[in-house]
Amino acid sequence: MSLYSEKVMEHFRNPKNVGTIENADGIGEVGNAKCGDIMKIYLKIENNIVSDVKFETFGCGSAIASSSMATELIMGKPLGEVLQLTNKAVTEALGGLPAHKLHCSVLAEEAIRAAVKDYYDKNGIEYDHSQFPDCPCCEEHE
């Protein structure tokens, strides 16, 4: 039995939405010091909907696959739905990840949240700070 699902291998070998977006509306970058993975998500937003999304990931196959799948899951979605994306949904869409690689799906969720928050901040859009619980700047406002 393989350690990784066919879906994980597919998104690792042929990742979707790789690259950058010039003049992105929102950019989120997160990293995990323990494993060394770094993810950067770029969003283009039109009428509150993700019209384009790209990623750059430096990391293992699970990190690349998680980034790729997460971008697929949010493309064309309104920001309200984008913020509901969980690491569990990314993992399930990939057909599972080994327990020691679940942090990769967490990074994908966090990078997307950071990109949405960046979009809100750049555009002066009010938001519920509890939607960004891991953001140190949001904790200051609570």
**Secondary element (H or E) of residue 54:** strand 49-58
Catalytic residue numbers read: 35, 104
**Phi then psi dihedrals of residue 94, to 5 deg:** -85, -5
Please compute, for residue 124, the number of CA atoms within 13 A of its CA located in the half-sphere on the CB side. 0
Token pair for 58: 């430096």
Contact 60, 51 (CB under 8 A): no
Residues composing the chain: 142
Task: Name the percent of the chain in helix, strand, coil, to the closest 5.
Answer: 45, 20, 35
Going by the DSSP 8-state scheme, the letter that residue 129 receives in this structure is: G
